Structure 1
Amino acid sequence: MILTVTPNPSLDRTYEVPSLDRGAVLRATHDRVDPGGKGVNVSRAVAAAGAPTTAVLPLGGSPGALIAELLGAQGVDVTVVKVAGQTRSNISVVEPDGTLTKINAPGPGLTEEESALLLETVRTASGDPAWIAACGSLPPGLPDQWYADLVARARETGARVALDTSGPALTAALAARPDLVKPNALELAQAVGRPLTTLGEAVRAAQELRSLGAGAVLASLGADGQLLVSAEGTFHGTAPVTAVRSDVGAGDASLAGFLLAGGAGPEALAAALAHGAAAVQLPGSAMPTPADLRPGAVHITENPPPDHPLSTRALY
């Protein structure tokens, strides 16, 4: 069982448009509403794979109620921490070539009491999960240290902890020694304070995060695939994508695939790549099912060439 924690969940509305013209009235060709937030998407992907998952969420107002309803319909067990503020709604606009424009609301601020209750609920609601995935941005009112506190409490349950966040919240949490961190290329560069232009530079950055406390680093490199740096070694993988429809939630689907496959080694990296590649070819933040995956198309290399240049094009 995989338990997820999303301190700043959202209700995500996605619109597909022929083109994004500023100042014009746009008519969408497709639209959908999904429960959102990085941990929420991980739980949705786990449920889509037929595995059990629990999502711990601070929810408030009618958007929060709709999120819980939608997740229940998708087979996700939801543990709600009620908050006074109204859960945020985000908007994504997708163009035919896959270009994504997102408007993310800040989310409701959590009081000190609500924050403490959320941390305690992670411990009491965890049961016996194989992994606890703590994901996403922090809402107003929570300090950068909050994820470090959550990692410390989560480890008390005996579960392994995966962390997918960025900026000061990521660097502050490394000292708590999460078993896995999952930055994208930009977040990895920000964490080490320098640009990354080659695969070798990305490997060295991941090794630096490991030296600061991360057990393993799973880095999404967009069009250049994914990189895994861990005690088992350094592995790089790619998976072909025919056409990008939406990359919303694709990185979260990738993390779910990695954890479902055991959360270690090249086999888990291959599963992460298969899930991520499938997700970007689906609408909105739809999560792939086993029928959407193409594991045979994934290519994994151990100790990849360090001088391989990194693309500036991000898929997820």
Structure 2
Amino acid sequence: MILTVTPNPSLDRTYEVPALDRGEVIRATGDRMDPGGKGVNVSRAVAAAGRHTLAVLPLGGAPGDLVAELLCEQGIEVAPVAVAGQTRSNISLAEPDGALTKVNAAGPELSAAESEALLATVRDRSAGAAWIACCGSLPRGLQPSWYAELVARAHAAGARIALDTSGPALLAALRERPDVVKPNAEELAEAVGRPLATVGDAVKAAEELRQLGARAVLASLGADGQLLVDDFGAHFGSARVETVRSNVGAGDSSLAGFLIAGGSGPEALASAVAHGAAAVQLPGSVMPTPADLNPSAVTVTADVPLDRALTEPVS
């Protein structure tokens, strides 16, 4: 079982529009509603793979009820923590050329009691979990040290932690030695405070995160592939992708694939790459099933192309 923690979940509404004309009345040609948040997406990807997952998340108001209902419909067990504020609703406007305009709400402010209730629920429901995946931004009311506290408590209980967050929350949590952290290129550059122009730059940055406490770093480099840097060195994975339809949730699908495959080593990296490549070829935030995966398109090597320039360098 993979338990996910999403401190700031959302109800995501996506509207397909012919064009985004500012100041005009726009009539949608299609729409959908999904439960949102990085940890929620990891649970959705795990469930799509036919594996057991439990989603722990604070929920409030009618949007929170809808998030729980949508997750249950996808076969995901939900452990809700009731909060006084209303779960945020996010809006995405998708144009035919692939452009996506997103409006993300701030979300509710959690009280000290609600923060502690969230930590306690993770503790109470984590028995038997192969991994605890803590993902996404922190809502108002939670200090940057909140993830660090969660990692410390989880490790004290014998659980393994995968952390996908950024900024001060990531840096604060590193001191508690999360088992794997999963930054993208932009988050990796932010963490080390310098630009990344090559794959080698990303490897060096990942090694610095390990020096700060991360036991392993799984870094998404967008179209260039993914890096895994751990006690066994560095491995680089990439995959052939025919057509990119949407990158929404692709990183979350990658993390799910990594954890499903055991969460360590080149085989887990290959699973991460396969899941991420499958996700970008699906519409919206649809998560891939085993039938969508193409392992033969994936290459993983210890001969990391250090001098390769990143397709989208981070300044």
Task: Name the TM tier (shorter chain).
Answer: over 0.9
Offset of residue 248 of structure 1 = 1.3
Would the alpha carbon gap of residues 152 and 278 (structure 1) be closer, same or farther in structure 2, given more than 3 Å must change?
A: same
Give the letter aligned to residue 31 of structure 1: D
Confirm or deny: 8 A CA contact 2:278 2:293 kept in the other structure: yes
Structure 2 SS opposite 1:109: coil
1:90 aligns with 90
Q: Which residue of 1 aligns with 2:252?
A: 252
Structure 1 residues 218-227 or 274-283, which shifts more?
A: 274-283
Matches of 1:152 and 1:213 in 2, distance apart? 12
CA distance in 2, matches of 1:310, 1:179: 26
Q: Report what 1:150 is aligned to.
A: 150
Corresponding residue of 2:57:
57
Please tell me the root mean square deviation across aligned C-alpha atoms, in Å.
1.4
Q: Secondary structure at the match of 1:296?
A: helix
Distance 2:194 2:21 in 1: 34
> Take 2:253 and 2:28, find their aligned partners in 1: how far apart are those partners?
25
1:238 Cα deviation after fit: 1.1
1:74 corresponds to: 74
Take 1:99 and 1:206, find their aligned partners in 2: how far apart are those partners?
30
Q: Match for 2:200: what amino acid?
A: G
Q: How far 1:250 moved relative to its partner?
A: 1.1
Aligned to 1:215: 215
For residues 51-73 of structure 1, the C-alpha deviation after alignment (integer angstroms, 9 at most, x for no partner) is: 00100010000010011111111
After the TM superposition, which parts of structure 1 deviate over 6 Å for at least 4 consecutive aligned residues?
A: none
The aligned counterpart of 1:174 is 174
Q: Answer yes or no: is the 8 Å Cα contact 1:223–1:313 preserved in 2.
A: no
Q: Distance in 2 between matches of 1:152 and 1:7?
A: 17
Which residue in the other structure is 1:235 paired with?
235
Q: Can you give the 5+ residue segments of structure 2 that lack an aligned partner in the other structure?
A: none
Distance 1:121 1:225 in 2: 35
Q: CA deviation at 1:306?
A: 1.2
Q: Which residue pairs with 1:199 in the alignment? A: 199
TM, length-normalised to structure 2: 0.96
Q: Which residue does the alignment assign to 1:141?
A: 141
What code does the residue aligned with 1:29 have? T
Distance 1:120 1:109 in 2: 18
**Paired AA for residue 105 in structure 1:** A
The aligned residue for residue 22 of structure 2 is: 22
Task: Report % sequence identity.
Answer: 72
- Deviation of 1:313 after TM superposition, in Å, equals 7.9
Counterpart of 1:10 in structure 2 is 10
For 1:286 and 1:215, how far apart are their aligned partners in 2?
30
State TM-score, norm by structure 1. 0.96
Q: Deviations over 1:113-136 (max 9, x none)?
A: 000110111101112101000000
Query: How far apart, CA to CA, are the structure 2 residues paired with 1:296 and 1:30?
Result: 34
Q: Distance in 1 between matches of 2:64 and 2:236?
A: 38
Query: How far apart, in 1, do the equivalents of 2:28 and 2:59 lie?
Result: 29
Which residue identity is paired with 2:250? A
Deviation string for 1:263-283 (max 9, x for gaps)?
111111111111111111222
Alignment CA distance shift 1:16-1:313 (3 Å)? farther
Separation (CA, whole Å) in 2 of partners of 1:241 and 1:104: 29
Deviation at 1:44, TM superposition (A): 0.7
Whole-angstrom distance in 1 between the partners of 2:249 and 2:197: 25
Q: What letter corresponds to residue 192 of structure 1 in structure 2?
A: V
Deviation at 1:95, TM superposition (A): 2.9
Q: Which runs of 5+ in 1 are unaligned?
A: none
Structure 1 CA distance, aligned partners of 2:29 and 2:232?
Answer: 46
The secondary structure found in structure 2 opposite 1:148 is helix
Conservation of the 8 A alpha-carbon contact between 1:188 and 1:205: yes
Figure out how many residues of one structure are paired with residues of the other and give that number: 314
Distance 1:102 1:167 in 2: 21
Contact 1:32 1:284 in 2 (8 A): no
Q: Which moved more, 1:47-56 or 1:280-289?
A: 280-289
